[in-house]
Structure 1
């Protein structure tokens, strides 16, 4: 998940460095922000859980409520907000003695800390998802996942680009950029929903995760292509080839070497005697792969996912899964709440004349965004009884990945205000609709009877547990 703060001028970052007397107030701002984030995540998640919706949807909605769309408690500079618009900063001015001159630097520092914690959250999430995935099953469904991923990139990109040019007379380069934004898939949101539904290890879940990982790689390549096109008017073939080679070498090489070295990892952990030997060692391994993923111009989350896949093949898998849960519970909600907090739903207001053109284009983009991913289920072959609709819906949410496309497009100045707003609307609706749709398409009315699921997956089982424990986990 690229950090949009990289776009800030160096002079701005220097100016945003807090004065020594303001340093304690940076900590205060972060602590208040964390209180707001956790409260919003827990309240939203609990409400959704009680009305039979995925809790992650509640965390996203909670983020919207406390973010720029409503309460302005969690706001970020890249959304156009200033320190005077943050209620937390104003609260510090009123109660903590924060000066008006120091408010800007404290606001910038607080936002950067939340950004880093959010990225750590999604890294831990993808590590956890990798642990819960089956590498052999992912390899087995690899060809099908690849077809799903390619369809999920080509179909919405083609429909979106051609439609914008033909129906709305959008210039070619902005239309290409908008079409590229339609290719994104938020693996973090989809994976969390699948985990909550107990479908991560199902055939559908493994195809979705495999396709989403490949889609993420393809999305990075597409973003690099359209960004260079927007800046120079031409595509840098060498950069594209470097990205493709880096992606292939990283994913294949890290898994191969990781499986080769995993016995030494287990042996090292067994010899350590201090507390947290397994968890800390696993996090070191995860962060190394995440770092490599970031520096080779891919994403850190791909390295984290690869680390989870590798360690899932060791005898420490179950123990590690248990130990990483508290870490995920602490960091992952930050990611989802900040995604919601960045979402400005004011662009959905049809009463504002300035939004109407954007909403018309947005309706088209949303339709293309949903249809363009749903058809990916048609790429699954030789799987009797598989839920193809669920696979398509699982690829729908754009989430933070779509927001990255918008941020890059806005920074290049290639997008008009109406087109930028339309893409934001598309990101909002696909992000919030997909979790609810996944709940519907994965509904299993005969689950309580222990009969095979209608989508072809086996009922959830718990090792060493009786039937009542299994039913409790399913509920």
Structure 2
């Protein structure tokens, strides 16, 4: 009897390959169902908000909450502590596509990672689009004002929040510093989308807000690095702080100066190309390269994308590129906002849970500091005719940036359950409050001026 050893040896490899291919198919199926849920939630939520004169981005956030961990569990993520059995999409696949319980966890983890990466790509494209719609000359003009707003918007809530938690609530210094650091954040993605929707992105107030939010991100990254270092080692690494400051300054200034030299070459390259998509794809390559550079030097990738948009906005291809980016943004950007909503756990608002009660009291304090600490930033400016309240309100939303602070603090073990819940509640409240409030503060003064100037 002849025994073919090669068949025996290759059988496990073939079986493993077949299993991997099967899991890959299930991952694709899960991603497709997740995209259906995301797009349905974003459109239904956005349409409802648009019909009651609220920013559609608020509807996308609410839609994410409904399909996320707080309600339907269609879109849940392992980072929140969810398992495969908690995902309604995984259960649907088990019932309809014969997904085995053994493979479910692996499929769930990979599918969630794909959606998270697509959401990150969405915010990168959003900031590239916002950069295209911004005016670099105007941003430079309002630069000193934006710097004042950003500095006050970081220092005031950080100092008030940290001191209040230590002296009023007797929280240990490191958790208090972490919570204070979470108050410094500003979600540039949410604010920029609302400003674009209400036609105020190119206004002086809008440019100050965007410039300040960009600086806020840089300062926030530095604060987060310092606080994370403090929680791990008990001491601040000065060299790391200096590195981050120098990296941020060199990157932003260098990217803009170098980009001005490169942009004519890019225009010439685009004009010489004959294939379809030449403008959009080469522009996205440029944006992704700057986003990559920003990420590898420990800045936010969105800053690189924003810088790329600013640079290309100075070319004669600006209008054409803006039109071509819109459908790409329509595909990817909703993923970002829906995922922010989906990751928001409203169970931390339940006072019936004992650990939440202390968190509710702390949260009320943090929410007050979060709002006042940002609103006052607008009133530090002395420019006549400026809508100072609008500038301050535009800095309120913490969004995904605040969740990053909470996530890092929780993962490091520096935050108690009640403090972590309080930070999450602060992020939820400021994220959902800012979009409708921003529309109101921009609309009311304009309406008053129009009424005053109209004939009797």
Fold similarity call, TM over 0.5:
yes
Provide closer, same or farther for how the CA distance between residues 287 and 411 of structure 1 changes in structure 2, counting only shifts above 3 A.
same
Per-residue deviation at 1:444? 4.5
> Residues of 1 paired with 2:228 and 2:445: CA distance?
47
The DSSP-based 3-state class of the residue aligned with 2:379 is helix
Write the distance in 2 (CA, Å) between the matches of 1:392 and 1:66: 31
- Separation (CA, whole Å) in 2 of partners of 1:373 and 1:349: 27
Partner of 1:234: 235
2:7 corresponds to? none
Measure the CA separation in 2 of the matches of 1:111 and 1:347.
23
> Does the Cα contact within 8 Å between 2:359 and 2:422 map onto a contact in 1?
yes
Cα distance in 2 between the residues matched to 1:373 and 1:331? 29
The 8 Å contact of residues 187 and 400 in structure 2, kept in 1 or not, is answered as yes
TM-score of the aligned structures, taking structure 1 as reference length = 0.90
Offset, 1:452: 11
Counterpart residue number, 2:9: none
Q: 1:462 maps to which residue?
A: none
Contact kept in structure 1, 2:355 and 2:417, CA below 8 Å: no
Partner-residue secondary structure (3-state), 1:443: helix
Matches of 1:228 and 1:141, distance apart in 2: 33
Equivalent-residue separation in structure 2 for 1:453 and 1:319 (angstroms): 37
Distance 2:453 2:52 in 1: 22
Distance 1:56 1:414, change over 3 A: same
| 1:252 to 1:446, Cα distance in 2 relative to 1, 3 A | closer
Query: 2: distance between equivalents of 1:72 and 1:156?
Result: 34
User: Which aligned pairs between 1:128-139 and structure 2 lie closer than 5 A?
Assistant: 128-139=129-140
Aligned equivalent of 2:14 = none
How far did residue 353 of structure 1 move? 2.8
Q: State the Cα deviation string for residues 108-160 of structure 1 (Å, max 9, x = none).
A: 00011001100000000000000000000000000110010000000000000
| 1:263 corresponding residue in structure 2 | 264
Deviation digits for residues 284-331 of structure 1, max 9, x if unmatched?
000000000000100100000000000000000000000000000000
The CA distance in 1 between the partners of 2:433 and 2:52, in whole Å, is 15
1:356 aligns with 2:368: no
Deviation sequence 1:409-455 (CA, Å, 0-9, x none): 0110010000000000000000000111101101147669989999x
**Alignment pair present for 1:211 and 2:204:** no
TM-aligned CA deviation for residue 379 of structure 1:
2.3
| Deviation at residue 22 of structure 1 after TM alignment | 1.4
Residue of structure 1 in register with 2:304 after alignment: 303
Counterparts of 2:388 and 2:56, CA distance in 1: 24
Q: Secondary structure at the match of 2:443?
A: coil
Counterpart Cα distance in 2 of 1:22 and 1:379 = 56
Aligned residues: 436
Task: Give the structure 1 partner of residue 222 of structure 2.
Answer: 221
Deviation at 1:372, TM superposition (A): 0.4
State the shift of 1:345 in Å: 0.6
Task: Tell me the equivalent position of 2:404.
Answer: 404
Q: Is the 8 A contact 1:137 1:206 kept in 2?
A: yes
**Separation in 2, partners of 1:359, 1:63:** 23
CA distance in 1, matches of 2:284, 2:208: 26
CA distance in 2, matches of 1:49, 1:445: 21
Distance 1:391 1:444 in 2: 14
Asked whether 1:40 is paired with 2:22, we answer: no
Instruction: Verify the 8 A CA contact 1:229 1:235 in the aligned structure 2.
Output: yes
Unmatched segments (≥5 aa) in structure 2:
1-18
1:31 counterpart = 2:32: yes
CA change 1:449–1:150 in 2 (3 A) is closer
**Which position in structure 1 is the counterpart of 2:23?**
22
Return 437-446 or 198-207, whichever deviates more.
Answer: 437-446
| 2:119 matched residue in structure 1 | 118
Which residue does the alignment assign to 1:385?
Answer: 385
Partner of 1:376: 377
* Counterpart check, 1:73 vs 2:87: no
The separation in 2 between residues aligned to 1:453 and 1:303, in whole angstroms, is 43
**Matching of residues 409-448 of structure 1 within 5 Å:** 409-444=409-444
Distance 2:119 2:370 in 1: 26
Q: Is the contact between residue 19 and residue 102 of structure 1 (CA under 8 Å) also seen in structure 2?
A: no
TM superposition shift of 1:355: 1.3
CA RMSD of superposed structures (Å): 1.6
Q: Is the 8 A contact 1:447 1:453 kept in 2?
A: no
Change over 3 Å in CA distance of 1:379–1:448 after alignment to 2: closer
